[in-house]
A and B are shown apart, each in its own frame.
Chain A
Amino acid sequence: MIPTHHPSDDYLIAYAAGSLEEPLSLVVATHLALCPRCRKEVERLEALGGVLLEDEAAAETATDERALDSVLSRLDAPAPIAPGPIAPGPIATGPIATAPKPRQAAPGDLRVPAPLRDYLGGGLEQLDWKAHKGFDEAELLSDAPGFRTRLMRIKSGTAMPAHTHRGNELTLVLTGGFSDEHGHFLRGDLAEADASVKHQPIADPGEDCICLAVTDAPLRLTGPVGRLLNPFLRI
């Protein structure tokens, strides 16, 4: 199944340029694992990076001969340890340059593709889920300032409390699906919401809907019950 809801250009560009913060990169890269269309788009954006690099200041400094000598003198030394991975991230030189990695016998939970899998420290079931009414949540990447990164598990057929956002929210569906005012989202689909969006996601019947959600500011609950809960419950 190929996703139909994709990240907007500016997220993909920032990802390809390497200027996207880690929590947002995590959502984008996990979407990429599920979306051949966006993988191709990122390949193009990286090609654009290469083109801009080629163009970069042909007028800049001529080759530094000392640097060249230094590199030439080190060519015969054994290859240094591959740059990265900085655990738990994957190899640091891009998919193109990635050395083949030994495959683990058990690929783990196929519902969760890399790179998200590396952040779970075990399976979905081993996470520290906190129960709320109608949904559970588990926090990831709690050390990234300015962002909340969570897995949400909405019980099949139930509605989340209606809410708006103070900042932007990216939600990537991993299992099941949900609908809100803006569409129907299935595995691999990415929903973007900003401060102007008020929505009430309802999980599809059948399977619990597990999503990866990143917000760059806490959500704001709306509606009578939500307003009541607001001081106590940060969704």
Chain B
Amino acid sequence: MLNALATEARPGVVPAKAALVIRPRQEIQRLMRAEASERAAEQTPEELIAAVAEQRDREAFIGLFRLFAPRIKAYLMRQGADPASAEDLVQDVMLTVWHRAGQFDRRKAAVSTWIFTIARNRRIDTLRRIRRPEFDPEDPALVREPETAPDAHVEASERSKRLHEAVATLPKEQESLLRLVYFEDKSHSVIAEELGLPLGTVKSRLRLAMAKLRAALETLE
């Protein structure tokens, strides 16, 4: 609004017409919702999830929902879920986010990482119906690092941001291969077959991509 007025005051510039007309009620509501999600967009997912965990903040949850639900759905559908079961799973994942927000630890993971692991595990349980063995962080038999992890002093969200930038600089063939590997629930040999590449090429492309991503992270440490 302020911008519109400023524009209006400037001589020689035709003011945007829309700023002057009286808007119908529906339109105002739409704008208010848009502003609400803008506010949500101004906060990082980490802040949103903290608000959910500490104040059971529904606005913040809606912000997270708008950010992640369509992406989780796309992820599940690429894994072969039909739209209806993808929808059910998305709701499931988002309810888990609401209920377990208190367990999210921003030092350990970015919100996107945490939500990815929840979606991945729900997918394996529900769509693949197999088990995914996992180590138990509380297991007395677990072998621990002798000293503090070098990553520990960097915010997890900062690492994810760096990864994000690094993914964007990968050669197209490596980036799309990563997406195939993460999103299509196929073994590397099946992917190689479908791409018409030798398995060794797929593996070496992955290795190259990982080396670059690792190098990008290491500049943080």
Contacts and interface: CB of A to CB of B under 8 A. Distances in A.
Given A61-B74, A68-B62, A93-B100, A52 B134 contact: no
A58 B181 CA distance: 19
Classify chain A's interface size.
Answer: 35 or more
Interface in A110-164: 110-119
Contacts of A113: 135-136, 139, 141-143
Interface of B: 58, 61-62, 65-66, 68-75, 87, 90-92, 94-96, 98-100, 103-105, 108-125, 130-146, 149, 151, 156, 159-160, 163-164, 167, 178-179, 181-188, 202-203, 206-207, 210, 213-214, 217
A54 B165 CA distance: 12
By secondary structure, the B interface counts as helix
Contacts of B75: 53, 56
Contact of B119 (A53, A55, A100, A117): A53
A96 B122 contact: no
Interface string A15-44: 001110110011001101111100110011
Nearest to A15: B132
Q: Which 7 A-B pairs have the closest CB atoms?
A: A50-B112, A94-B117, A50-B113, A115-B133, A113-B141, A89-B131, A36-B145
Interface in A167-216: 188
28 contacts: A18-B123, A18-B132, A19-B185, A25-B132, A29-B134, A32-B135, A33-B139, A36-B145, A43-B151, A48-B178, A49-B182, A51-B112, A51-B164, A68-B65, A68-B66, A68-B69, A72-B62, A75-B98, A79-B99, A92-B132, A93-B117, A93-B118, A107-B140, A111-B141, A113-B142, A115-B135, A118-B133, A188-B143
Given A70-B91, A113-B142, A114-B139, 10 more contacts: A17-B183, A53-B116, A57-B70, A57-B74, A75-B61, A94-B120, A95-B134, A97-B100, A113-B141, A114-B135
Given A13-B210, A36-B144, A55 B108 contact: no
A53 B134 contact: no
